[in-house]
A and B are shown apart, each in its own frame.
Chain A
Amino acid sequence: MICISPILVIIFTSIFVLLLDAFLPNGDKKLLAIITGLGLVIAGATSYLLWEAQPQSLFHQALRIDQFSIFFNFIFLFLTGFTLVSALPKFDSQHPFPGEFFFFLLAACSGMMLMASSSDLITFFMSLEIMSLTLYVLTGLYKQRIQSIEASLKYFLLGAFSTGFLLLGIVFIYAATHTTSFAAIGHYLITSEHVLPPIFMLGVGLLLTGFAFKVGAVPFHMWVPDVYEGAPTVITGYMATAVKAAGFAVLIRFFLVTLLPILNSFSTVMITITILTMTVGNLAALIQNNIKRMLAYSSIAHAGYILIAICSANSQSFNLSIGAVVFYLVAYGMMTFGAFIVLSAVSTHKHIHTLKDVIGLGFKNPWLGASFSVFLLSLTGIPLTAGFIGKFYIFSTALKAGFYGLALMGILNSLLAAYYYLRVIVYLYMKDEEGVLEKQTPEFAWHVVIGIMAFATLYFGIFPTPILNFIEKAVLALF
């Protein structure tokens, strides 16, 4: 029981914060922020204490707490914490966030933590809904801005649609196997001597569709650019990183671990999705002038790179492949979140959307510009950044498993991507025209978040070994 304490801490804090908000005088949100932060820290500390514990299954195998889920807990807690800190300046600017922001943030975090620990389709579905529903609201946090509301509605409608697919998939799988537990489904696959019933495959296919929607894989990516553009930038950063990590965590637990025996029958579909996701994401990003949209498409492309590692999971390269996915999620989380927070930091007074708006940022705000460049170079995959180690890891996996074509596609795609990332740097440093940006010192909170992200991006790029060891341990705990 003790091992779900991090999740419980987050859930209780979220409810406490929600109730407290009702009794606090208007405008005083500092206390809420402090309590939220405290909850995150306590959850982090308890997770840390649990790191050495044995893997445990709870509630009739509905949850599985192992190093893998704890590692993801860290990712979620860190990202939620950083989102919290970067949102703080937004409480005094023109469009302040409402007080229930803290509740939704924590609820989303608890949903993600449950998701990474779920080992039953029902738990998975419920945690997914906790996460999604709160995110629909977070997306529409700017009630005064039409784009924010539109994004929220769009996200909600399409999300509900994909939820339908997921649920139907779960029903079909249940019909075939009479169980919803991952372990029991895995057992069924190993022991069943007959050809698998089509309804099972159909169920898996529908689930796959649902996953593809959540991680923003082509052809279920249509919502991504609109929602990412419309949502408050801080929330976009959170969605682009934490939600994606949660989606891939379940994808690993269910598709790679549970469905390992029948993985081959999906390889064609998966490879097609992978190549499409990378290529469509990059081609669309290539023509964007709006930075937020560009980063949205780039996040689609990055989901594609991660899918390369998932495609190349076979019996020999299994641990390597999951390790690559997890490391890439960490690296991607840092650089993408950092990039979005930079955007958020420069657009306090004006809305900075297009490339033209950031002209001269590199010299007007040297540290912001330098950090933004670090994130962009990392997204490109230039050495000494975490993004490079991540790409190296992913392509290693593909070559190890013998997917040369996939590796080549990935390489060509990252070349394509280099153009639009480097183009942003052109606007940051190399244009002659005077930009609209004013010289301003961003809030201290942003400085802290961006600084930590940039430092971590470089640190993991130069010394990846410590975190690779952690990931290795997390991956081994899956079995």
Chain B
Amino acid sequence: MNFENTLLTLLILIPFIGTLKILFMPKTYEKYLMWIAFGFSVFEFLLSLTLLCYFDSTSHLLQLVQKVSWISTFGISYFVGIDGISLWLVLLTTFLTPLVIVATTPQKHTRMYLASFLFLETAMIGTFVALDLFLFYVFWEMMLVPMYFIIGIWGGARRIYATLKFVLFTLAGGVLMLLGIIFLVYLYHDQFGVFSASLLDMYSLQIPSEYGQLLTPQNLLFLAFTLAFIIKVPMFPFHTWLPDAHVEAPTGGSVILAGVLLKMGTYGYLRFALPLFPQAATYFTPILFTLALIGIIYGALLALAQLDLKKLVAYSSISHMGLIMLGIFALTPNGVSGGIFQMLSHGLATGALFLMVGMIYERRHTRELDQFGGLAQTMPIFSSFLVLFTLSSIAFPSTNGFVGEFLILLGVFQNNPWISALAATSVVLGAYYMLSMIQKVIFGSIRYAENKSLKDLSIKEISVLVPIVILIFWMGLYPKPFLSRMEKSVDYLITHAQNYDLGVYEKNK
């Protein structure tokens, strides 16, 4: 067993060891808990950077694979690996977690907060690298537990309603997926005579489907999986948990929720629903296109009407995530690459916006747009950062948001120019609500006395935001290193959508 093959397992285990370390730390070390957790997450991030060294971007195959038998009765194994689709999502997770830990750790129940976030990191990375259906489901649901506590304990006034709603919505999608997984395991057993839950084996399954028929096994399985994913994304009409969860969650929870958890839905669609059930995916694409379009425009219109800063960012997420889904459904190289790229940019920009909302809320104890105004005079640094992240969010050229949205619209345009045109309205609407937010918050005159004495960002807060700014411009000005590493996998996914069959990468072969 060499280092390469255990790298992903290490990435899964380190935050978990951190969780245990934090939980069992003696009381006398209470003050240093945050720095211990921070240390673990930074180490995790540095370790995850080595993925870039070991990753071979010239191959579409699954790399850094490790497989160990787990529950042999059902052919379930511990099976992890990455390709160009999951690589950046793992890095996004390891990048955001230390920032969240250092920026948002509260005084109340610190120990549990840190333990929850580290455990959440384990579950998130596990979800992105799992290549066994059962293992994927385990990580997928595991992530609910820490999130349940994070929203429920440190959230706002309606946190209990929000957290229950979030968990029940996600569970509802998840349990149907579980039935689908069991069904696939048996189908594999029927066709090949052995039990296996490995995703790679599933790709070679012939799942019964008949052109034009609705109730075929493939269609039903597709729906079972897709429901889980589009609840998570979330797409219209399953989006109602999102505003509640985002608004009530503590800042750190919102950042991770918007930054990483939502991406699990889009990732799951790319990894599971699309390649496993290609005919069904084609069959349902018009409906999904429509839902994505409704989400894009409806989300933007809702964001337009919000008076609360956090709600505005939350609704803008629905719109952005709709656009990402649209790019993926287009099934063109540009569309899918743009979708994955936009997952990263949205994760960074929206994550950063939530952080900023948290910072201003801490100072002013309100998030109502009307309560602000003229912050540019009292908090110049804060205002500049806010403008920067807003630019990324509205896809201003030279920021990463532009690259992503442009690629998506381009990709969609190739086959469906009209849909692309409709989707483009979201860019206009996005610019409108985000810029008017900027105008209300930082420009104009100071109308409230409280705003006069606001302290500008501290060194700690700036040092949290600067890495995000650097990435935003790096990805915006020179996106090639990011795109080139996902290119092969995306191309393979599109050219082989109907007979997808990933293999395992072996070095020197």
Q: Please report the C-alpha to C-alpha distance between residue A422 and residue B163 in the assembled complex, in whole angstroms.
A: 10
Task: Confirm or deny: A392 has a beta carbon within 8 angstroms of a beta carbon on chain B.
Answer: yes
Q: Give the contact stretch, choosing among B177-185, B405-413, B492-500.
A: B177-185
Q: Is the CB of B182 within 8 A of A430?
A: no
Q: How far is the CB of B127 from chain A (nearest CB, A)?
A: 11
Q: Is the CB of B153 within 8 A of A429?
A: yes
Q: Which residues of the other chain, B, contact A363 by a CB distance below 8 angstroms?
A: 109
CB within 8 Å for A430 and B153 given contacts A414-B175, A418-B171: yes
Interface size class of B (residues with CB under 8 A): 20 to 34
CB within 8 Å for A430 and B152 given contacts A382-B145, A383-B137, A383-B138: yes
Q: Which residues of the other chain, A, contact B159 by a CB distance below 8 angstroms?
A: 430
Q: Is the CB of A426 within 8 A of B164?
A: yes
Q: Please report the C-alpha to C-alpha distance between residue A411 and residue B144 in the assembled complex, in whole angstroms.
A: 17
Q: Is the CB of A382 within 8 A of B73?
A: no
Q: Which residues of the other chain, B, contact A62 by a CB distance below 8 angstroms?
A: none
- In this complex, the member of A383, A396, A418 whose beta carbon has the largest number of chain B beta carbons within 10 angstroms is A383
Q: Please report the C-alpha to C-alpha distance between residue A131 and residue B328 in the assembled complex, in whole angstroms.
A: 62
CB within 8 Å for A411 and B71 given contacts A383-B137, A422-B167, A429-B149: no
Q: Is the CB of A383 within 8 A of B141?
A: yes
Q: Total number of A-B contacts with CB less than 8 angstroms? A: 75
Task: Confirm or deny: B40 has a beta carbon within 8 angstroms of a beta carbon on chain A.
Answer: no
Q: Which residues of the other chain, B, contact A423 by a CB distance below 8 angstroms?
A: 164
Q: Mark A422-439, 1 if CB is under 8 A from B, else 0.
A: 110110011100000000
Q: Please report the C-alpha to C-alpha distance between residue A389 and residue B142 in the assembled complex, in whole angstroms.
A: 13
Task: Confirm or deny: B289 has a beta carbon within 8 angstroms of a beta carbon on chain A.
Answer: no
Nearest B-chain residue to A471, judged by Cβ: B73
Nearest A-chain residue to B134, judged by Cβ: A392
Q: Please report the C-alpha to C-alpha distance between residue A395 and residue B137 in the assembled complex, in whole angstroms.
A: 15
Task: Confirm or deny: B172 has a beta carbon within 8 angstroms of a beta carbon on chain A.
Answer: yes
CB contacts under 8 Å to A, within B154-170, are 159-160, 163-164, 167-168
CB within 8 Å for A415 and B171 given contacts A382-B145, A399-B182, A399-B183: yes
Q: How far is the CB of A231 from chain B (nearest CB, A)?
A: 31
Task: Confirm or deny: A407 has a beta carbon within 8 angstroms of a beta carbon on chain B.
Answer: yes
Nearest B-chain residue to A382, judged by Cβ: B141
Q: Is the CB of A430 within 8 A of B71?
A: no
Q: Is the CB of B142 within 8 A of A422?
A: no
Q: Which residues of the other chain, A, contact B160 by a CB distance below 8 angstroms?
A: 426, 430-431
Q: Which residues of the other chain, A, contact B172 by a CB distance below 8 angstroms?
A: 415
Q: Please report the C-alpha to C-alpha distance between residue A464 and residue B73 in the assembled complex, in whole angstroms.
A: 10
Q: Is the CB of A422 within 8 A of B148?
A: yes
Task: Confirm or deny: B186 has a beta carbon within 8 angstroms of a beta carbon on chain A.
Answer: yes
Q: Which residues of the other chain, A, contact B453 by a CB distance below 8 angstroms?
A: none
- In this complex, the member of B72, B163, B171, B185 whose beta carbon has the largest number of chain A beta carbons within 10 angstroms is B171
CB contacts under 8 Å to B, within A445-467, are 464-465
Q: How far is the CB of A322 from chain B (nearest CB, A)?
A: 14
Contact of B179 among A377, A383, A399 (CB under 8 A): A399
Q: Which residues of the other chain, B, contact A222 by a CB distance below 8 angstroms?
A: none
Q: Is the CB of B142 within 8 A of A383?
A: yes
Q: Which residues of the other chain, B, contact A395 by a CB distance below 8 angstroms?
A: 178-179, 182
Going nearest first, the 5 A-B pairs with the smallest beta carbon separation are: A383-B138, A430-B152, A411-B175, A383-B141, A396-B182
17 further contact pairs, Cβ within 8 A, besides A396-B185, A399-B179: A363-B109, A382-B141, A382-B142, A383-B138, A383-B142, A384-B138, A395-B178, A395-B179, A395-B182, A396-B182, A396-B186, A399-B182, A415-B171, A422-B168, A426-B160, A430-B159, A468-B71
Cβ contacts A to B, 23 pairs, < 8 Å: A377-B145, A382-B141, A383-B137, A383-B138, A389-B71, A395-B179, A396-B74, A399-B183, A400-B186, A407-B179, A411-B179, A414-B175, A418-B171, A419-B164, A419-B168, A429-B153, A430-B153, A430-B163, A431-B160, A465-B70, A465-B71, A468-B71, A468-B73
Binding site for A on B (CB under 8 A): 70-74, 109, 134, 137-139, 141-142, 144-145, 148-149, 152-153, 159-160, 163-164, 167-168, 171-172, 175-176, 178-179, 182-183, 185-186
